[in-house]
A = this chain, B = another copy of it.
Amino acid sequence: MDIIISNSSDTPIYLQIAEAIRYSIISGGLKEGDVLPSIRSLAKELSVSVITTKKAYEVLEGQGYIKTHQGRGSVVSARSASLAREHRLSELEQHLLEAADIARELNISAEEFAETARRLYDIE
């Protein structure tokens, strides 16, 4: 669980945690059936309130990534990997759609747009 949280970010901490865990799932660090750290131990590790980690887990549970059981902690649920991948794909599409909107607004052609996309992909 190497999660880095930023207090200055404008995405709330509980979402930063949830996304870090989702990333762990997608990148294979966490697999189906794996047990997540307890909300209390994670809270201590990240120096945040228990409520914050709990909320992160609630979000993930609401989206079907994990299952939580009283007294037994939380485990990564089946289908979580494919769920996470779908989620990221739709985010990618969302970004491209917004970018395309702007491109049309600025009279940038489809070719130029695709070209720019390609170029920015290679940058980093």
Contact = CB atoms under 8 A, between A and B. Distances in A.
A79 interface: no
A94 B100 CA distance: 12
A44 interface: no
Number of copies: 4
Contacts of A2: none
Given A62-B62, A95-B95, A95-B96, A106 B121 contact: no
B122 A8 contact: no
Contact of A103 (B70, B100, B121): B121
Contacts of A116: 92-93, 96
Interface of A: 7-8, 12, 23, 26-27, 62, 67, 69-70, 72, 85, 88-89, 91-93, 95-106, 108, 110-111, 113-118, 120-124
Given A88-B106, A103-B121, A114-B117, 20 more contacts: A8-B67, A26-B105, A85-B106, A92-B102, A92-B106, A92-B116, A93-B120, A95-B98, A95-B99, A95-B102, A96-B99, A96-B116, A97-B124, A99-B99, A100-B120, A100-B121, A111-B118, A114-B115, A114-B121, A117-B117
